[in-house]
Amino acid sequence: MSRPWKRNGFTLVELLVVIGIIALLISILLPALNKARASAQEVVCQSNLKQFGFAIEIYADQNRSILPQKGPGGNSSDPFSGPFINDTSIWFNALPPMILGQSYYDMLLQGTSPRDGSRSIFICPSAGAPASLGPDTVQGDYFILHGSDSTGAVPSSDFKFDFSYVFNSKLTDSIASATLTRINMSYLRPASEVVTMVEKINYPGEYENAGVQTWAGANPSAPVSKDITPKGYTNDIGQAKACWDRFAARHRGGGHLLFADGHVSWYQWQSAQFPEAQLPYKAKTSDANQPGTMIWGVLGPVN
């Protein structure tokens, strides 16, 4: 008697059904996985800024309550040429050693970078590669800071730089008084509202992804635009300091701010801009401070 035929595989239809089910499951799960990854990256970003908050407190304790100086921006019109790139009182040289990290200048001496290592406290894990629509110089995966080393140990006038978190450029500014280079912690009141460090934009695409228009103009005295749509500032986003201009938009359309009391908060990009109905860059004419929420300049009104 002949043995009955036994099938040893799947039909083409069955395989297509299985593949279709798998594809459907992936399409359902992928958005959830992406959201979970983005949330995890945001937590890491907050942790990085909190460590800088600890560093500021330790530095102030060791220096009679004086904060490090914010220094120049590092663009071609505001280079590090006094203070120089090796100045140990500048925030990027003063703060990292407080949390067992290398100062920026030590990185330059050793040829290392903030991106070295599996996870760097200097880099937001959501930050894309540096890019600009303005006059920034970009070399590979880095912005370039202009200036010089007074010791001559780093014989260059163009220094690779890529920190996701920078000092508040308006902290010691005021409309009515001269800008100070350093300030005492006692001025940072109320501490829960004074911004000390800012998560900085890394490439203009962050604005586009957040639905924010870009603004390449750099002349505040130009005629006021009739368009009151908030515009992201794209000039000189590679600088070593920042305020509401150059504020990040990569986390749910916003970024993080470090405050003088050490806490870190997320803000939507628009909420960190000028309170005058969040007008565009050309229309900023009054005080950017928002008492009760965020204080950018502790010496008085700032714009």
The residue-averaged pLDDT of 210-225 equals: 58
> What are the sequence ranges of the domains in the chain?
41-283
Per-residue pLDDT tens digits for 181-208: 889 999 999 999 999 999 999 888 888 8
Give the residue from 135, 144, 142 showing the smallest Cα distance to 85: 144
Per-residue pLDDT tens digits for 15-54: 788 888 888 777 777 676 667 788 899 999 999 999 999 9
Banded pLDDT at 129 (limits 50, 70, 90): confident
Per-residue pLDDT tens digits for 70-96: 999 998 889 999 899 999 999 999 999
276, pLDDT greater than 80: no
Average pLDDT, the chain: 84
pTM of the model: 0.84
Per-residue pLDDT tens digits for 243-274: 998 999 999 999 999 999 999 999 999 888 87
Q: How many whole angstroms separate alpha carbon 37 and alpha carbon 16?
A: 30
% of the chain residues with pLDDT over 90: 49
61, pLDDT greater than 90: yes
The residue-averaged pLDDT of 104-117 equals: 85
Query: Residue 192 has what pLDDT?
Result: 97
Alpha carbon dihedral 236, 204, 85, 188, in 10-degree steps, equals: 90
225, pLDDT greater than 50: no
Banded pLDDT at 157 (limits 50, 70, 90): confident
